[in-house]
Every structure is written in structure tokens, then in C-alpha cells.
Structure 1
Amino acid sequence: MRLTDSERRALEALEEQERVFRRGAVVVSEHDARRELYVVQEGWLHSAVLLGNGNRQIMRFHFPGDIVGISVLAFGESAETVTAVTDATLCPFDRDRLAELFERHPRLSALIFTLAVADRVTLADRLASIGRTSARARVASLLCQIFARLRLLHDGARDDFAIPLTQEDIGDATGLTSVHVNRMMRGLVDDGIIERSGNNVRLIDERRLSREAGYMDRSRIDTSWLPPPK
């Protein structure tokens, strides 16, 4: 979708301020009462909830271009804890700024709504994977999701990326222990499906990885229905 100059300026206005967060820094804590949202300018983050048994469930990974903290629109507080996976640069803005954008640019509001729906569907896919598939399929599905997002960011069909996640991060996103994650990743390497070197992961047999994961690519969204720019 091609943005008008007015729409582009409206989005750029959300990025007037910058804050740098170091790797491991908590950006927002669960249940914090707040009005701020953030545009991710650089870096990776994740949103997680703390469970009653003390375990952590990572719900989402965030990449440049994402809006973080959107739950404050509905509840006035954060539903998740947002943590920097890498050093990250975020642009904070008050939710009133988003209300102004929605009023002046209905097509952008429809686009943000569509992206939120796509995020919900992707999350539902992963929850179904966690609840009803094998450990190997869960790890494979998460890798497929991450690669799809990174390809959009880099505008190309690359088959290798640096993935700065620990085995604990992957385990908390898939409901597995770190030991189990290591075993599943090693199995994917031994079977010639991926290659690993440090944080770098290369897809060797993407078709097989997708098949084992039961993966549905949700990275492309339909914007044909959006209203015309105002």
C-alpha cells in the first residue's frame, strides 16, 4: 500500500522522540498504568506474561516498525511485560496522539486495525501449535514465523539471519525447557533442515521445515478493502 505524503508525515510524527533501551531492559511491566505506546525503530523485543507458577510465557516478538504496548488502548494498563531482547531504540508517544491520527487519517486507522488482527491470528496459530503439536513442530513453527517477519523487514527472500534469542527465550515462547529446545534445534541441524553458527540460522530445506511445522504464512495482509485516504 502506497502512503500519501500526509499519511507518511502523520506516522513520522509518532517517532519524534527516541529512547534507547539496553539488552535485557524492561520497557514496560505487566499491570503498569500508563498512556504511552512505542514505535520500535531498532532492535528486537518480546512481550511476556508471568504465570502463577512463576514461569514466563512469551507471547510476541517485536521488530522494527511494530507498535508496542497497544493493550493500553483497551485497559489503560499494560497486559504484558515488554523486554528488550537486543539493544533497542523506541519512540514513545501518548495514546492521545493515536486518537488524533485515527480521526484525521481513517485509512491509517484501518491499516493499524488490520495489522492488529493479523497479529492476533498469528498468536492464535502459535497457541494452537503449543497446545496440539510436537516439540519439534513448535520450534519449527516459531522459526518459520520469525523468518517471515525478517524477510518483510529486509525486502527479500533471504535464507539466513542472525536470531538473537537464547534457548530460554525460544522455550518460553514454545512451552519447552531450554534442554528440550536444544535437542529440537540439534535435530533440525542433523536432519539437514537448518544450519546454525552462533546466533546465525540458515534455512536449508524450508519446504520441509514448513511442512513439519504445519506453518501458515500470515506475513502478507490484504489491504484492498481499506478506505481511500482522507
Structure 2
Amino acid sequence: MAERLAHYVTLTPSEEEALGQLEQQERSFRRGATVRGENDLGRELFIVQKGWLYSCVLLSNGSRQIMRFHFPGDVVGVTSLAFGRSIDSITAVTDAVLCPFDKDRLATVFEEHPRLSALIFSISLAERASLADRLASVGRTSARARVASLLCELLARLRVTGGADLLEFHVPLTQEEIGDATGLTAVHVNRMMRSLVDDGLIARNGSTIRILDEARLTAEVNFINRYAQLDTSWLPGAR
């Protein structure tokens, strides 16, 4: 988590120590395991140390809508801060290691380190804006644009810790999982992926994606990197 936040500001030793204290415990989950179900009680939040996960809501017809994918450095279960019960289900995409902590411990970090509090709040707003962009894409754009937009979003988020020059990345998602994030069937996802490959926008090697023409890809879907636009000029001073 400290590595992710350090992308935006230079952390002080005391800030790094405070964040490190949230990752003192580890809990392992196998691929497909449910970390927490929808409407479950729980005061815990989780920092992702290894692996990928997703948050989803289950619909009455048995289908699911994946709202967000989670990578190392992400805080999962943030809605526990506002509600007594989970509003979504958290599932491991791959084998994963999470660091659980009670939300009271985060309250202590916020009290003692207001700059971290403001930065985490800003990142949460960027995540909300990114989710709104994807929902607009799902509701108003073509199938190809939905898949391309999701790839752009994943790349933008992975660059926070992987570096601005990152063009090739591992995507351990099934076509069904991509479909549940974009409102498409697995068959349709496969066709759209092939279309992006055929047009020279991306290359695929198993679960590895390489962006070949980023400018054309982002222009096609009018992608906005919300994480690159984060304004940190207003943050309070570090303690």
C-alpha cells in the first residue's frame, strides 16, 4: 500500500511505518474463494499483498456484475467504513494473500496522519470516477469499446506501481469475468479481443496483453486516465 501511495507523494518514515502496521497479518485465499459475501457482517478491511480479486454484486437472476478488480496495494472492503454489512461480494481471481485489519486501526492512521487520510480519500474519488466511466461505457458504447476501455483502465491502474512505461501486463481473467465486468457474453468478449488483435491495437500471448498502439486505442474509446490526473496540491502537510 505504501508503494502505491508513494506514486503520488513522497512518504515520510512515520507515514510508511503507519501503513506498514496495517500489513502485519496475512491471510491466504485460493482462486475462486469468497473473501466476504454480500450482506455479511464485518469490520475488517483488507490490503492486497499478492494476487487479483474482484468485487461484484449478485443479481436476482443468478448473474453477477463485476464492479472492480483489485491488485496488490489496493484496499478492499472500503464500504465497511460506512456500513455495517458488506454491499458486495469479494472473490479471489487468483491465489491471493490479503492483510486484514480492523477499521478502527484505519481511524487511528487518519487521526495521526491527515495527509494519508486526504490522499486515500482522493484515490477513492478517482476510483469512483473510473467506475462511472466504465458504467457509461457499458451503457452507451459498442462491445469492442467496452473491452478496449477495460484494458485501458487495467493498464492505467497497473502503471501506478508498474511504471509509466508499462505496455505488457498479465491479465489472469477468464473471458466470462471480463464479460461480467463489461456486460457481454464470453463469446462476445473473445470476438472483440480478436478484433483488437486483428486491427493491430493489442497483441495476446495466453493471458498476457501487450498494447501495440496506445494512442489509437485510447482515442477510439475516449479513455481518460483518472489516476494520472490526481491533484495532490491541496493535501495537508505530512506529520
Same fold (TM over 0.5): yes
Kindly state the Cα deviation for residue 158 of structure 1 after the two structures are TM-superposed.
Answer: 2.1
Q: How does 1:194-205 map to 2 (within 5 A)?
A: 194-205=202-213
Kindly state the Cα deviation for residue 17 of structure 1 after the two structures are TM-superposed.
Answer: 0.2
1:217 equivalent in structure 2:
225
**3-state SS in 2 of match to 1:219:** helix
1:60 equivalent in structure 2:
68
Runs of 4+ aligned residues of structure 1 deviating over 4 Å after TM superposition are none
Cα distance in 1, alignment partners of residues 29 and 143 from structure 2: 32
Query: Structure 2 length as normaliser, TM-score?
Result: 0.94
Q: How does 1:29-40 map to 2 (within 5 A)?
A: 29-40=37-48
**Mapped pair 1:90 → 2:121:** no
Cα distance in 1, alignment partners of residues 201 and 116 from structure 2: 39
Cα distance in 1, alignment partners of residues 195 and 163 from structure 2: 30
Kindly state the Cα deviation for residue 156 of structure 1 after the two structures are TM-superposed.
Answer: 3.7
Q: Aligned pairs, how many?
A: 230
Contact preservation (8 Å) 1:137, 1:214: no
State the one-letter code of the partner of 2:233.
Answer: S
**Of 84, 109, 112, the match for 1:101:** 109
**Of 59, 65, 68, the match for 1:51:** 59
**Mapped pair 1:183 → 2:191:** yes
1:11 equivalent in structure 2:
19
1:229 equivalent in structure 2:
238
**Mapped pair 1:42 → 2:25:** no
Q: Deviations over 1:158-213 (max 9, x none)?
A: 21111111000100000000011011001111111111111011111111111121
1:126 equivalent in structure 2:
134
Q: Which ranges in structure 1 are unaligned for 5 or more consecutive residues?
A: none
Kindly state the Cα deviation for residue 60 of structure 1 after the two structures are TM-superposed.
Answer: 0.3
Cα distance in 2, alignment partners of residues 52 and 204 from structure 1: 40
Cα distance in 1, alignment partners of residues 183 and 168 from structure 2: 25
Q: C-alpha root-mean-square deviation of aligned residues, in Å?
A: 0.9
Cα distance in 1, alignment partners of residues 203 and 43 from structure 2: 43
Kindly state the Cα deviation for residue 45 of structure 1 after the two structures are TM-superposed.
Answer: 0.6
State the one-letter code of the partner of 1:149.
Answer: R
State the one-letter code of the partner of 1:159.
Answer: L
Cα distance in 1, alignment partners of residues 48 and 58 from structure 2: 23
State the one-letter code of the partner of 2:23.
Answer: E
Q: Which ranges in structure 2 are unaligned for 5 or more consecutive residues?
A: 1-8
